[in-house]
Structures are given as structure tokens and as C-alpha cells.
Amino acid sequence: MDTLNLLLDGFANALTPQNLAFAAAGVLLGTFVGVLPGIGPAMAVALLLPITFGLEPTQSFILFAGIYYGGMYGGSTTSILLNTPGESASVMTAIEGNKMAKKGRAAQALATAAIGSFIAGTIGTLLVAFFTPALADLAVEIGAPSFFAIMLLSLVLVTAVLGSSKLRGFIGLAIGLTIGLVGLDLSTGQARLTGGVLQLADGIDIVVVAVGIFAIGEAMWIAAHLRRAPLDVIPVGRPYMSREDWSRSWRPWLRGTAIGFPFGALPAGGAETPTFLSYVLERRLSRKSDEFGHGAIEGVAGPEAANNASAAGMFVPLLALGLPVTATAAVLLAAMRTYGIVPGPTLMADQADLVWTLLASLLIGNTLLLVINLPLAPLWARLLRIPRPQLYAGILFFASLGAYAVNQSAFDIFLLLVFGAVGFAVRRFGIPILPLILGVIIGPLMETKMREALDLSNGEVSGLFNEPIAIFVYVLILLALIVPTLWARKNSNVPTPTSNESEVS
């Protein structure tokens, strides 16, 4: 009942005409940016982050709630209509969604994706409201050694387990940690990695890093691979679903939600794994499994629900532990820091009004997303016809304007170009961006917790292992590093049947 009362108080703060206007504006802006080719929710939030400067924290995060869910919806639109996922989590949606669109069922694919996103986002946000306070109460009892171990686990899982290449993952992490070290050492006051440049003494603003790597890097990458032929955009009719479509979609929506939320709530979840699991599960359970690969509606409904449930679940570790488990969460954490808000165990007590207003705003934004954007699907499809040179020229302009607005410093524009080149390079060499961004954000926090633990133990390394939770987490880290390697070796040692054996079978 306490949780329900707090959530109702959040609705009371969010349901004012002014705040509803911010929520609607966030939904429209997020969808507008997210629907453009190659732009996912993380880039949408990073690109629109500077426009929140000057707003009060409550209004800013109401706007962000709409931008976040709007960017998620926009990513599914490009996946279905152009077969161009804005992020890796939308790949499974593109597999069946684009096939449906090519068969003249683009409207049905967009409808099941939007409704599934609404159901999964609503259920996921309600679960966040009930789970986050309990986790925050537990986290208050966790000491510096355990926090350091949990953050290390988060980096290891994202870098070594969820990525396709451990080496590339650790390279991305090393780049991020190096960027995070730039500035003055908080303990000694000594300048680190500044090269004598005074503007770097305070460190590098995460907004500049995020916008440079996401927006500028993506624009450079698209420019390097720009095709002269116009995009082939599939027309969208009136988004509706038949009775059979509803019958085939509602179970995948619920199953996708159940699969996606736990992965998002883990301190290194991500949406790639649950979307894949949802797709495989729906393919096995479907009575029309022969349609998979040719445009099965279950293959859109399930993964899209899993994706949005995972996206909602990521607020659990973000708010309770201050751990961003996705690139979008990392950008949201940067937004919170610009207002002096540090997510963690005490956030629910120190900033209760803000947190519960944010959760209520997520529910409101999710509802507005369905009400406003579902009828506007044909309009968003027209945006995809904007020529890419003009499109990405606009992105470069707004990204540069946003980076300058952070500190009103021309030096930040130079840094923006530098990180744009870094973003282009990591895409060119297949280095994942998530470990890089997490390294920038979590690196300084890990250093702080590590020094706290060592100070309490008078510099003894054993101070990092003197809590049961820390020991348990280190065991999980070892298992996360060893088990996948042993599993891969076991599978590689399985003999493949010869051609004669396969013919006999």
C-alpha cells in the first residue's frame, strides 16, 4: 500500500497540464528522432539531452521518459519498414517485421509492436515501482567492497559475456576507462591524462562523450557508406489488427514481458538475449511455425515486448544501485548528474518526489506513445524519405549546438569532433559501444569505491574481499569468465557427422 500511495503521489505531480505537455513533447521528439534510420533510443536521448538544460529536474525527467519510450517506438518503425534496426535489440523485430511489411502487412506489424510495447512497458514499470524500493533498502547495507565487486561484475558481463568478441569488448572498455580517468585525481589533486590542457582538469563531460560517439560517430559512419539510391520505404496503411492477429499476439506479449524484465533488472542485462529467447520460444510454441522467416506476427509481438520490458527493467539497477546496464541508461545517468542527482541506495529517500514522479511519467509517456503515435504511423514513415545527406547534416548541427550548450565552450566542440572520430573508429573495427560508455561512467565510481575499501583496510588488498556479498560476486565473475569458455570448447570438440553418415541418417 505504501508503494501504491507513493505512486499515486507521483501521478499527482505528473498529471498537471504543463507536465503532460512535456510528456507529449517528449514522446513526439523521441519518436521523431528514433524513427530516423540508424538512430536508436540511446542516440535519441543523447541527441536531445541538451534541450532539457534550463528545465527543473521534474520537468526534465518527464520529458526524458517520453523521449526514451518514443525512441524505442521509433526504432521498431525503422526495423519493420526499412529492415534497419536502430540498435542490436531491434534485430529480432526486423527479421519478421520487414517480411510482414513486404507482404503488405506493415500496418499490422507496427500495430502489434506498438501495443506489445505498451503492455510490456506498463507491466515493467509497475514491477520497477515494487522492486526498486526493496533493492534500495538492501543496497543501503552494502559496503564499498561489495559495491566495487558489483560494478566490476557489471563491466565483466557486458564486456566478456554479452558481446560477440571478448577482445573487442575489453578494448572498448579500456577506451572508456581511459576517458573516465581524465581530470584531477580527487584524492591527490594530481592532473591525469590532461596533457597540460587546463580545460581537461575538470574531466570530460559525459554529454559530450555520448553525443560525440553516438550522433557524430553514426553520422560519419553513414556518410562513409552513403548510397546514392533512394531508400525503398514500404507504404503504411491504417494500423489495425484483425481478430486473428490479436489472438496470435496477446500470448507472445505476456511471454515476452516475463522474459525481458528479469534480464533488464540484472546488473548487466541488456535486451539482446531476451529478444532472441523470445523469438526462439515463439517459434517453438506457434501453431504456424512454418510462417517464421516469412513474416510471422508472433516473431514481432514477442521480441518487441521483451525489448520494452527489458528497457523498463533497467531502471531497477539504475535507480537502486546507480548502475547503468544499457547505453541508454548510461545517458540517462549522465542526465541525472547534470542536475546533481546521484542514483543509488539513498535516492529513494533523498529524492522520493522526483523518483515517483519519474515512474508515474514513464506510465504516462507509455500511454501517450500508444494514443498519439499509433495513428501517426504513416506520417513517421514519410520522414524516412528525407535524403540522408540533409538528414545527417541536421544531426551534426544539433549535436554541435547541444555540445556547446553544456558549458558554452568552443573547446567542447573540438572534443565532440574527437569523440565523433572515436565513434567512427569503434564502428569501423567492430568494437562495441556499450562497454566504452559504461567504462566512462562506472570507471570513476569504481575508483571511488575501491579507494574507500582500501582506506578502511589501511591499504590492504584484503579490504576488497572482506564482505560475504563481495566474495559471492567475485565467484560469479569467475564463473562468467570461465563457463562460456568451457562451453565453447565442449561444443567445438563435438565431432560433426561425415557426409556418408549424414546421407545414411
CB 311 within 8 A of CB 283: no
Rounded distance between C-alpha atoms, residue 82 and residue 39, angstroms: 13
Percentage, residues of the chain above pLDDT 70: 83
Task: Look at residues 477, 480, 452, 475 and name the one whose alpha carbon lies nearest to residue 145.
Answer: 452
Cell 590542457 sits on residue: 197
Q: How confident is the model at residue 503 (pLDDT cuts 50, 70, 90)?
A: very low
482-500 pLDDT, tens digit per residue, is: 877 777 677 666 555 554 4
Q: How confident is the model at residue 505 (pLDDT cuts 50, 70, 90)?
A: very low
Amino acid 227: pLDDT: 58
Amino acid 91: pLDDT: 67
All three cell numbers of 117: 510495447
Higher pLDDT, 42 or 1: 42
Q: Which of 13-22, 28-37, 154-163, 172-181 has the lowest mean pLDDT?
A: 154-163
Amino acid 497: pLDDT: 52
Asked if pLDDT for residue 7 goes beyond 50, the answer is yes
Amino acid 84: pLDDT: 63
Q: How confident is the model at residue 254 (pLDDT cuts 50, 70, 90)?
A: very high
Rounded distance between C-alpha atoms, residue 398 and residue 50, angstroms: 9
Task: Look at residues 221, 220, 212, 219 and name the one whose alpha carbon lies nearest to residue 403.
Answer: 212
Mean pLDDT of the chain: 78
Terminal Cα-to-Cα distance of the chain (whole angstroms): 62
Q: How confident is the model at residue 317 (pLDDT cuts 50, 70, 90)?
A: confident
Rounded distance between C-alpha atoms, residue 103 and residue 114, angstroms: 19
Amino acid 1: pLDDT: 58
Tell me the longest C-alpha to C-alpha distance in the chain: 74
Q: What is the mean pLDDT of residues 406-414?
A: 79
Amino acid 397: pLDDT: 78
Amino acid 343: pLDDT: 79
Rounded distance between C-alpha atoms, residue 328 and residue 433, angstroms: 11
Amino acid 501: pLDDT: 43
Amino acid 233: pLDDT: 57
Rounded distance between C-alpha atoms, residue 247 and residue 394, angstroms: 42
Rounded distance between C-alpha atoms, residue 327 and residue 365, angstroms: 20
Q: Is 184 helix (H, G, I), strand (E, B) or coil?
A: strand
Amino acid 162: pLDDT: 54
Amino acid 106: pLDDT: 80
CB 351 within 8 A of CB 320: no
Higher pLDDT, 272 or 14: 14
The Cα-based distances of 31 to 7, 27, 173, 350, 499 in angstroms read 26, 6, 30, 32, 52
Higher pLDDT, 1 or 465: 465
CB 307 within 8 A of CB 72: yes
Q: What is the mean pLDDT of residues 451-460?
A: 83
Q: Which residues contact 476 (CB under 8 A, 6 or more apart)?
A: 153
Q: Which range has the top average pLDDT, 91-100, 270-279, 296-305, 401-410?
A: 296-305
Amino acid 337: pLDDT: 76
Amino acid 209: pLDDT: 82
The strand pair at 183-184 and 191-192 is best described as antiparallel
- Region for residue 37 given its phi and psi (left: phi exceeds 0; alpha: psi -120 to 50; beta: otherwise): beta
Give 3-state DSSP helix, strand, coil % of the chain, rounded to 5: 75, 0, 25
Amino acid 272: pLDDT: 64
Amino acid 252: pLDDT: 92
Q: What is the mean pLDDT of residues 428-438?
A: 81
Rounded distance between C-alpha atoms, residue 97 and residue 92, angstroms: 8
Amino acid 265: pLDDT: 77
Rounded distance between C-alpha atoms, residue 326 and residue 46, angstroms: 13
Asked if pLDDT for residue 379 goes beyond 80, the answer is no
Q: Which residues contact 54 (CB under 8 A, 6 or more apart)?
A: none
Stated pTM of the model: 0.68
Asked if pLDDT for residue 502 goes beyond 60, the answer is no
109-151 pLDDT, tens digit per residue, is: 888 888 888 899 899 888 888 877 776 666 666 777 887 887 7
Q: Is 192 helix (H, G, I), strand (E, B) or coil?
A: strand
Q: How confident is the model at residue 41 (pLDDT cuts 50, 70, 90)?
A: low
